[in-house]
Structure 1
Amino acid sequence: MSTVAPLPAEGDVVGPRTFALTRADLVAYANASGDQNPIHQDEAVALAVGLPGVIAHGMLTLGLAARAVTDWFPGAEVVEFGSKFTNPVVVPAEGAAEVEFTAVVKKVETDDDGTRVSLLLTAMHDGTKVLGMPKALLRLR
C-alpha cells in the first residue's frame, strides 16, 4: 500500500491500491447491502441479459475506491465523493477480479478549517476504466 505525506502537492500521483474480488465477496456484499440482483451471482442470468458474466455491484466498486482513498489519507474527512458507473467488473467463477485504483491530486487549498485536497481517481479492471469521473474532496486537519 502506498501512502502520501500529510500535505500533498498538486500533481502528486497516489497509489496504486489493488483489491481482489471473488464471487464469495459478491455474495457477502449482496447479503450486507440487500442488493440480491442475480446478475451479481448467477452466470446464466448475467449472460441472458447481455453481460459478459457475473459482475460486481457498482456500489461495491465505488466503496473500494473510497477505501483506497482512506488508506492513502488516514484520518482525513471525506467531504465529497462520487463517480459514474461506466464499465462492469467481471468476476470469474474461480479466482478473483482485480481492480486497481490510483489518484492524482488536482487541487490543494489551505484555510482556517484545514487543508482541502481534491483527487481525480482512476479505477482499472483488465485494462479498462470501470468508473467514470471518480473524484474525492478531502479535508486534512
Structure 2
Amino acid sequence: MKHFLSVACLLLVIAFGGQAKAAGTGIKITEMAVTTKIVRGNPIDSVRRISWRSVPSLFCFTRTVSSDGGEQSITHVWYRDEVKVAEYKLPVRGERWRTYSKKSVDRGSPGEWRVDALDGDGNLLKSVKFKVN
C-alpha cells in the first residue's frame, strides 16, 4: 500500500508539474536591445556605452513570439547601479509582437544600467546591460 501511495504521489507531481509549466505564458524574446531611436517599429542601433549628453532618452526594444497569440504582458524593469529606477508593464497582443519602453537620460544618469524583461508571472525572460557615461 505504501508503495502504491508513493507511486501515485510521484505521478501527481509529474502530471501537475507538467501542466503548470505548459500553462505558463509561452512568451519568448527573440530580440532585445537598448537603442537611441526606434524607426518604423525597429531599433536603429544597440547601445553598449553612451554619453548622457548625446541623447535625451533611451528605448528598450523587445521582439516577442508567443505560442498562443492571446493578450499577455511583459514588464521592463530598468536598473541603474543595481537600484530599480523604473518599471513598465507592456502589452503583448499577438503571436509576433514588438514593444518598447522609454527612459529619460540626464546628468544624473551615469552608471551601470540593466533592463530586465519579465513575463506575466515575474520570471526573467531576458536582460540587457549597458553603460551611461
TM-score (normalizing by structure 1): 0.31
TM-score (normalizing by structure 2): 0.32
Which structure dedicates a bigger proportion of its chain to strand?
A: 2
Bigger radius of gyration: 2
